[in-house]
């Protein structure tokens, strides 16, 4: 039956659905954090909020890993890290263009806040990459679903 288009939609695998949901959750979190940081920067331009772009950069890969509950594949992790950094740099560009980064710098040099934000965002993105691709579950991530259908066994029940 070649050349015939099936009238039935193809079902997606649960793993693909989890990947899409993880990417959407990461996009929403990164965008929300970037917008919140922009609002704070607009509200108090003489006060530096150094946490905004790094959080926006790291949120996407961390939430991807949390939604998948397993290590992300290389392409998915790279997409999450790149997109998170892109969101962070877009927010930083808006704040720089509007001259909202007039606050004190971490290293004390005048006018170095944008450079500091770039460095912090890249470091946060690298950390997000590590979390997304990590084989071992971190303390802040949800546990993997158990194969038996019930809750996962505690270390005490496993004899550790």
Report the share of the chain in percent with pLDDT over 90: 54
Element (H, E) at 117: helix 113-133
Confidence of residue 125 (pLDDT cuts 50, 70, 90): very high
pLDDT average, residue stretch 119-123: 95
For the cut 60, the answer to whether the pLDDT of residue 160 exceeds it is no
- Tell me which DSSP letter residue 100 carries: -
CA 112-79-63 angle, 5° bins: 85
- Per-residue pLDDT tens for 17-52? 889 999 999 999 999 999 999 999 999 988 888 899
Least confident segment among 5-19, 44-58, 92-106, 123-137: 5-19
Of the pLDDT bands very low, low, confident and very high (cuts 50, 70, 90), residue 4 is: low
pLDDT tens profile 6-25: 665 666 677 788 899 999 99
Q: Own/partner pairs for 77-80, CB < 8 Å, 24+ apart?
A: 77/129, 77/132, 77/133, 78/129, 79/23, 80/22, 80/23, 80/26, 80/128, 80/132
Sign of CA dihedral 82, 83, 85, 90: positive
Task: Report the distance separating Cα 123 and Cα 65, nearest Å.
Answer: 18
């Amino acid at each position: 039956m070649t050349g015939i288009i099936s009238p039935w939609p193809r079902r997606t695998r649960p793993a693909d659905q989890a990947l899409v949901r993880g990417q959407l959750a990461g996009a929403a979190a990164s965008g929300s954090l970037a917008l919140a940081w922009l609002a704070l920067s607009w509200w108090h331009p003489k006060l530096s909020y150094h946490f905004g772009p790094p959080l926006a950069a790291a949120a996407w890969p961390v939430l991807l890993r949390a939604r998948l509950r397993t290590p992300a594949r290389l392409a998915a992790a790279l997409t999450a890290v790149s997109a998170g950094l892109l969101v962070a740099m877009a927010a930083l560009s808006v704040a720089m263009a509007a001259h909202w980064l007039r606050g004190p710098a971490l290293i004390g040099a005048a006018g170095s806040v944008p450079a500091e934000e770039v460095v912090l965002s890249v470091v946060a993105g690298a950390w997000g990459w590590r979390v997304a691709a990590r084989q071992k579950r971190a303390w802040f991530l949800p546990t993997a679903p158990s194969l038996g259908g019930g809750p996962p066994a505690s270390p005490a029940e496993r004899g550790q």
